[in-house]
Structure 1
Amino acid sequence: MGDQQQKIDALRAAMTNIQERDPDAPVPDFLVVDTSVPAVTEDGEPDSSPEAPHTAPADPGSAASSAATLGSAATADSTEMAEDAGGDESAEDSRGAGDDQGPEDEEDSASGAHSELSPAEQYEKARAVVLRRLTGSPKSRHQLAVALQEKEFSAEIITRVLDRMEEVHLVNDSEFAQTWVKGRHELKNLGKSALRRELREKGITDAVAAEALEQITPEDEGDAARELVQRKLQGKNVPTGPSPEERAERDKITRRLVSMLARRGHAPGVAFQIVREEIDDHSNA
């Protein structure tokens, strides 16, 4: 066993000398020691103590360089982690109350801070707001101007953008009024008075509104009012007897229907006449 141990020690010493002279030099195969074979002590028993792995002598310059590299990496990592944390927090804050907003609302909500933009950039941003608003449904010039004012665009930018939109026929108050009157009259059975009031709220001038309302004739208004009353009377039991209780109930129904027509923009006199005629027809049916 002593000879075997001496040979092993000699081989290890030779390998160490070679690596110290030239760490990159290849080690001959006959000098490679199988470290899986346990070392043998002088008494012939296997050495159970763990053997420290062989390392080349440390170069002070290399160690300092490695320490500096590790320090820089640690600093970079900590900085990156801090930026990531801050970014996540900012993203979370920006989502906050805007989670339930659609794409359009979320984009439009970014108002203010236009002074940091050039006039050209302000113009393009205002133009984008207008185009998004026009995507859903037609809008009057006044409606779009109010929307831009709420986004804190300057009066000059608002005028420039809306003038351009009128030039390319994307904004036209006359066409808007015509479409609005036709749709609201057909779908809601509104009379001229209610339609004129709605157009005024949209910023439509009285002259443009009057022109749009010409498409509704007195017969159209009467038919719309009559359709409303018939719809309300459908399935309703209207008393027809001469007793005071039945007359009071019939008068009550009449007043309610006349008030309903007045709220829809129909003249009170015409509304009362139509209600009485429809109640009589309903009672005799």
Structure 2
Amino acid sequence: MNHRARRRRSVRGDLSAERTRGADGALSDDGRDIQADPEQRARAIVMRLLAHQPRTRAELERVLRRRGIPDPVIESVMDRFTDVGLIDDAAFARAWVESRHAGRGLARRALAHELRRRGVDEEHVDAAVGRLSPETELATARALVTRRLRAVSHLDGRTRTRRLMAMLVRKGYSPAMAFRAIRDVLDDRDGNLTDDERSAVEALGDAVDALEDAVESPADD
């Protein structure tokens, strides 16, 4: 067993004992009242939170501040947990991207937004979402359109296309990728598009082109 693994087991054992003894206001091993000792209290709080689900360092820090733990104590406890691998924002970000993309079909833009809201550093955000290739995103977008198409099949072509576009954009797909996914799925269905669908897709394509032109060539101030 390497040094870091031994330290991780030691920290888990120590903090598990602190949590058990602190539940009824008892003393820690060195005779300190856990409720009166902010560092012991912070460790017990963090262990309870991590036992429930993985959390980012920033999320844990926010909880500790709400509980009245002083900032120097928070930093010390967070550093210790990070050092032994119990807090790992890079691993959290990777797992979040994998789970949320597979489970909800979220694209890189939406995933990055969620990670930033949870306080993950930009470096870890970029690395995690960068593992999701454009090809994988497009395949997922097509699957979402195929699944959603059944629920909007009764609508006219323009309304159906707008609904599909809105669904993908809400999940973080760019207008260009959303358009491509919709066009591909509708074009592949039964071999070709109906006239109504073709008109709707062409109109959507024109709107996407206009949007991209506006982004690439902003008006002068």
| TM-score, shorter chain, exceeding 0.5 | yes
Q: In structure 1, what is the Cα distance between the partners aligned to 2:162 and 2:152? A: 15
Aligned to 1:234, the other structure's residue is in SS state helix
Of 133, 152, 168, which residue of structure 2 is paired with 1:217?
133
Shift of the alpha carbon at 1:252?
0.9
Aligned to 2:172, the other structure's residue is in SS state coil
Task: Give runs of aligned pairs for residues 1-285 of structure 1, distance below 5 A.
Answer: 121-234=37-150, 236-237=152-153, 249-282=156-189, 284=191
Aligned to 2:37, the other structure's residue is in SS state helix
Q: In structure 2, what is the Cα distance between the partners aligned to 1:130 and 1:235? A: 44
Contact 2:145 2:182 in 1 (8 A): yes
Structure number with the bigger relative contact order (C-alpha 8 A, sep ≥ 6) is 2
- The one-letter amino acid paired with 2:76 is R
> How many positions carry a matched residue from both structures?
161
The structure with the largest helix share of the pair is 2
Contact 1:238 1:279 in 2 (8 A): no
Q: Deviations over 1:155-177 (max 9, x none)?
A: 01111111110111000111111
Deviation above 6 Å: which 4+ runs of structure 1? Answer: 117-120
Q: TM-score, normalised by structure 1?
A: 0.53
Shift of the alpha carbon at 1:186?
0.8
Q: Which has the larger radius of gyration?
A: 1
- The one-letter amino acid paired with 1:130 is V
Q: What is the percent sequence identity of the aligned residues?
A: 34
Aligned to 2:69, the other structure's residue is in SS state coil
Q: 1:118 to 1:228 in 2, by over 3 A?
A: closer
Contact 2:34 2:41 in 1 (8 A): no
Shift of the alpha carbon at 1:118?
8.0
> Over the residues paired in the alignment, what is the CA RMSD in angstroms?
2.1
Q: In structure 2, what is the Cα distance between the partners aligned to 1:265 and 1:162? A: 32
- The one-letter amino acid paired with 1:204 is V
Q: In structure 1, what is the Cα distance between the partners aligned to 2:170 and 2:151? A: 23
Q: TM-score, normalised by structure 2?
A: 0.67
Aligned to 1:190, the other structure's residue is in SS state coil
Shift of the alpha carbon at 1:282?
3.5
Aligned residue number for residue 68 of structure 1: none
Q: Deviations over 1:80-112 (max 9, x none)?
A: xxxxxxxxxxxxxxxxxxxxxxxxxxx7xxxxx
Q: In structure 2, what is the Cα distance between the partners aligned to 1:118 and 1:188? A: 41
Q: In structure 2, what is the Cα distance between the partners aligned to 1:268 and 1:195? A: 16
- The one-letter amino acid paired with 1:218 is P
Contact 2:153 2:160 in 1 (8 A): no
Shift of the alpha carbon at 1:215?
1.1
Q: In structure 1, what is the Cα distance between the partners aligned to 2:35 and 2:151? A: 63
Contact 1:140 1:176 in 2 (8 A): yes
Shift of the alpha carbon at 1:276?
2.3
Q: 1:235 to 1:267 in 2, by over 3 A?
A: closer
